[in-house]
Structure 1
Amino acid sequence: MNQSCKQVIKIAVVGDVHNQWESQDAIALKQLEVDLVLFVGDYGNEAVEVVQAIANLDLPKAAVFGNHDAWYTMTKWGRKHRPYDPEKENWVQQQMDLLGEAHVGYGKRDFPEFGLTVVGSRPFTWGGPDWRDGEFYQKWFGVNSFEESTRRMVEAVESSTENTVIFLGHTGPTGLGEAPEDPCGKDWKPIGGDYGDPDFASAIAQTRALGKQIPLVTFGHMHHNLRHTKTRRRKCVEVGLEGTVYLNAARVNRIEDRNGQKQRNFSLVTLEGDQVSEAKLVWVDPDFRIAEEEILYRQPQAVVEAASMV
């Protein structure tokens, strides 16, 4: 890591929003003193006003779009139920225009002040082993297969200015397990199977082959509350053999009434010396204090100390 860069970086990951974004969220992020904010998508069903509010957030940020962000454009069902005239308006394009360079789907954003680059995976993805919505991806991105999709991500990595890469996606990569409670596991009938993105997994592997460091891969889409059981929740963290932390940040609903208070959640990730030292879920109360926190991952202390000396 460049010694002129900040050595300890506090990252907030905002899970699937689903229309739950308020002015208090921006205040909370500043009170939490985060350095960087990452958004995993699903702001609403082509929710232009929500994206506008997020675009106005005055903090370093990067974002991708989820399947709901093209809800009325991507599928035949959605186009049939579209609440606007596509000859006069284009809500997908409006969302991308609003986020501008903060949108990293099939792209990247360099943060030299932190010594890292955020690279986005395939935007608007639903996940799963099949290449779906091919007409949409051909029209909007000129991509026709998983292989071409992987290439777009790797090209973004190759253009990055930093050696440390954080991957940001809506759906996570394949390879994190096939049980329904795994980070990208299929929890609807028929139960089970890996519903991550294979092109995302290939891009991560090729990025490692380029010699890049990948401390964090974060995403959402698969909600923590499982559809087939109420007795447990989805596993939200997996640690790869290379030390990469895979974090599913989709704790939905992200704003809830808890103990008689409206509280909002964020996943907070601490980076130290190109390693994730801690990841936790926090609930912030109306006074912008942390009311509750859940430690999701903590790096063994010996590894943290060694990393901090790099």
Structure 2
Amino acid sequence: MTIQSKDQIKIAVVGDIHEQWEEQDNLTLKHLGVDLVLFVGDFGNESMGVVRRIASSDLPKAAIMGNHDAWYSATSWGRKQSPYDHDKEDWVQEQLNLLGEAHVGYGKLDFPEFQLSIVGSRPFSWGGSDWKNKTFLQTRYGVNNFTESTAKIMEQVEKTAFDTLIFLGHNGPFGLGELAEDICGKDWQPIGGDHGDPDFTEAIALSRQMGKTIPLVTFGHMHHRLRHTQTRLRTQIEISPENTIYLNAALVPRIIEQNGQKLRNFSLVTLEQKKVTQASLVWIDPEYQIVSENLIYSTKENLIEAV
């Protein structure tokens, strides 16, 4: 039996969490009425409590691990700071176990109810053109360089059930600009340079060559608030000639206190007829009301991000 896809899909994209996820966030997503939730990683420094709360949500979801999610495991520097014995425990694997099939790093997840597939890029990415965490990535995933990483992503693309793909990464793809303010731009010394992932870019290009439609590529890692200037925020959205929307959801901190109330940030994306028609950044109050909304993309209003 063919499953009819919804004409309109409401997607919540959750930017870098950095320990800021509570049960109230799960309830807020319910009240927002979203159909699908995408988590771009950096839950915390191997924070199983946060991941456990995320895993407990029964909403359709997909997630990818960020560099902080292997903070004590991916480097010798991190292991020296580790609060646990790596010969006895593996917090990285425990996080992956909690998320189960929802973790799409080097994986994919088909959603028949939406007639689309989510494909994950390289998990635990630090970004940039240097191949980092060599031993960690080789041991866990058997990849040794960007070429092998692209091939591993494409193995999953080839297995997807649908021709409409959403790509989910922790860091974004290379090729979206070299300015510090660009969506994956380097905003620390020396200022400037494209810090995107080359393997991610290649996988997107190869997927298009296969005839896949890619309405949305979303990620985080590069925070909206810039280190070198307070006069503006990072560019949050780009649109490609193929009408793919690239969305950076990393507004940090994602929970703030205002007038004695906690406000929670989410990115909301509307997908209609396999195209993104709207994207906005919202702040939600404890009564589940949207108290602030920044519309950054809309086909109906011919709008692309006013910073």
Q: Structure 1 length as normaliser, TM-score?
A: 0.95
Aligned counterparts, 1:247-266, within 5 A: 247-266=247-266
- 1:8 corresponding residue in structure 2: 8
Deviation string, structure 1 residues 81-128 (Cα, Å, up to 9, x no partner):
110011111000000011000000000000010010000000000000
Q: Which runs of 5+ in 2 are unaligned?
A: 303-307
- 1:108 corresponding residue in structure 2: 108
Q: Name the CA distance, whole Å, in 1 between partners of 2:112 and 2:215.
A: 16
Deviation string, structure 1 residues 49-73 (Cα, Å, up to 9, x no partner):
1111101111000000000000000
Offset at 1:284? 0.3
Structure 1 runs, 4 residues or longer, greater than 3 Å off: none
Secondary structure of the structure 2 residue equivalent to 1:150? helix
Contact 2:3–2:112 (CA under 8 A) maintained in structure 1: no
Aligned counterparts, 1:128-207, within 5 A: 128-207=128-207
- 1:229 corresponding residue in structure 2: 229
Q: Structure 2 length as normaliser, TM-score?
A: 0.96
Aligned counterparts, 1:113-132, within 5 A: 113-132=113-132
Offset at 1:190? 0.2
Contact 2:40–2:220 (CA under 8 A) maintained in structure 1: yes
Q: Name the CA distance, whole Å, in 1 between partners of 2:208 and 2:153.
A: 13
Counterpart AA for 2:134: G
Q: Name the CA distance, whole Å, in 2 between partners of 1:77 and 1:48.
A: 21
Counterpart AA for 2:95: Q
Deviation string, structure 1 residues 197-243 (Cα, Å, up to 9, x no partner):
00000000000000000000000000000000111110000000100
- 1:32 corresponding residue in structure 2: 32
Q: Name the CA distance, whole Å, in 2 between partners of 1:88 and 1:133.
A: 21
Seen in structure 2, the aligned counterparts of structure 1 residues 16 and 127 have a Cα distance that, compared at 3 Å, is: same
Q: Name the CA distance, whole Å, in 1 between partners of 2:179 and 2:201.
A: 18
Offset at 1:301? 6.5
Contact 2:131–2:145 (CA under 8 A) maintained in structure 1: yes
Counterpart AA for 2:268: L
Matched, 1:63 2:52: no
Offset at 1:283? 0.4
Contact 2:3–2:113 (CA under 8 A) maintained in structure 1: no
Q: Name the CA distance, whole Å, in 1 between partners of 2:258 and 2:127.
A: 31
Offset at 1:258? 2.5
Offset at 1:300? 4.4
- 1:308 corresponding residue in structure 2: none
Q: Name the CA distance, whole Å, in 2 between partners of 1:65 and 1:85.
A: 21
Contact 2:119–2:168 (CA under 8 A) maintained in structure 1: yes
Offset at 1:4? 1.1
Matched, 1:82 2:77: no
- 1:42 corresponding residue in structure 2: 42
Counterpart AA for 2:280: K
Matched, 1:296 2:296: yes
Q: Name the CA distance, whole Å, in 1 between partners of 2:267 and 2:117.
A: 19
Counterpart AA for 2:79: R
Secondary structure of the structure 1 residue equivalent to 2:178? coil
Secondary structure of the structure 2 residue equivalent to 1:203? helix
- 1:97 corresponding residue in structure 2: 97
Q: Name the CA distance, whole Å, in 1 between partners of 2:191 and 2:117.
A: 36
Q: Name the CA distance, whole Å, in 2 between partners of 1:157 and 1:295.
A: 31
Offset at 1:259? 4.0
Secondary structure of the structure 2 residue equivalent to 1:106? coil
Contact 2:255–2:263 (CA under 8 A) maintained in structure 1: yes
Q: Name the CA distance, whole Å, in 1 between partners of 2:256 and 2:227.
A: 19
Provide the identity percentage.
Answer: 62
Secondary structure of the structure 1 residue equivalent to 2:95? helix
Matched, 1:276 2:257: no
Aligned residues: 301
Q: Name the CA distance, whole Å, in 2 between partners of 1:5 and 1:248.
A: 26
Q: Name the CA distance, whole Å, in 2 between partners of 1:133 and 1:65.
A: 14
Q: Name the CA distance, whole Å, in 2 between partners of 1:26 and 1:86.
A: 31
Q: Which runs of 5+ in 1 are unaligned?
A: 303-310
Deviates more, 1:62-71 or 1:255-264: 255-264
